[in-house]
């Protein structure tokens, strides 16, 4: 595309970012992010979502947070890309890999309090995994006991740790 002087659009860049996140290609994803900025493409759907997902999957939570904060909120609502369960699963998964207990807890609270999504078993499972990886099994036990739904599957995760 570059050789033929064709500028990529938001769908093209979002697709490339999805590939970067799937193949652990963070540096290439950062180059695509630079192109997004160079071409003046807004961080609305689908580019903003793809960027935040890529950074979260690659464990770059600060970059993920910055992209997420720069996504235009009015466009998020209008385009149906309000933060959803999948985005939070990606963020919690990154917290789990990096053993970021406090950030994981913050995301659980955001899901429930700020966005009113209601945490699902996948979110709780990530939090149990974060606590288990951090070696604070007693906190994981207390967390499981505080969750009324899906208790059996959460105990399996803790026992597997």
Q: What is the mean pLDDT of residues 26-50?
A: 88
Task: Indicate if 58 and 112 belong to the same structural domain.
Answer: no
DSSP letter string, 12-78: HHHHHHHHHHHTT-HHHHHHHHHHHHHTT--S-TTHHHHHHHHHHHTT-HHHHHHHHHHS-HHHHHH
Do residues 76 and 3 both lie within one domain?
yes
Residues 88 and 78 reside in one and the same domain: no
Query: 12 lies in which domain range?
Result: 1-82
Q: Are 77 and 87 within one domain?
A: no
The 10s digit of each residue's pLDDT in 17-37 is: 988 888 878 899 999 999 899
149 pLDDT tier (thresholds 50, 70, 90): low
* Boundary-marking domain end, from 82, 116, 151: 82
In degrees and rounded to multiples of 5, residue 9 shows phi and psi of -100, 180
Is the pLDDT confidence value at 150 over 70?
Answer: no
Residue 125 has pLDDT above 60, yes or no: yes
Of the listed ranges 67-71, 102-106, 151-155, the one predicted with least confidence: 151-155
pLDDT band at 140 (very low <50, low <70, confident <90, very high): very high
Task: Name the nearest CA neighbour of 65 among 81, 79, 53.
Answer: 53
Domain boundary among 82, 98, 123: 82
Task: Output 16 or 155, whichever has higher pLDDT.
Answer: 16
Same domain, yes or no: 40 and 97: no
50, 74, 104 from 60: Cα distances, Å: 14, 25, 14
**How many distinct structural domains can be found in the chain?**
2
Q: Are residues 94 and 160 in the same domain?
A: yes
Mean pLDDT of 82-107: 87
Residues 69 and 91 in one domain: no
Which of residues 64, 82, 100 is at a domain's end?
82
What is the pTM assigned to this prediction? 0.54
Does 134 lie in the same domain as 98? Answer: yes
Asked whether residue 72 falls in the same domain as residue 90, the answer is no
Cα–Cα distance between 103 and 109 in angstroms, integer? 10
One domain, residues 87 and 148: yes
pLDDT band at 81 (very low <50, low <70, confident <90, very high): low
- CA-closest candidate to residue 65, choices 88, 32, 81: 88
């Amino acid at each position: 595309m570059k050789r033929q002087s064709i500028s990529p659009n938001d769908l093209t860049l979002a697709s490339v970012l999805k590939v970067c996140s799937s193949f652990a290609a963070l540096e290439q994803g950062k180059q695509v992010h630079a192109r997004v900025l160079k071409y003046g493409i807004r961080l609305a759907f689908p580019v903003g979502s793809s960027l935040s997902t890529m950074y979260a999957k690659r464990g770059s939570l600060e970059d993920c947070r910055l992209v997420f904060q720069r996504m235009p909120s009015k466009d998020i609502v209008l385009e149906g890309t309000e933060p959803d369960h999948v985005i939070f699963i990606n963020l919690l998964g990154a917290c789990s890999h990096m053993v970021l207990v406090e950030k994981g807890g913050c995301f659980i609270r955001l899901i429930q309090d700020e966005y009113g999504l209601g945490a699902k078993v996948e979110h709780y499972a990530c939090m149990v995994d974060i606590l288990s990886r951090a070696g604070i099994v007693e906190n994981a036990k207390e967390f499981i006991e505080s969750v009324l739904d899906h208790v059996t599957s959460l105990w399996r995760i803790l026992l597997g740790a």
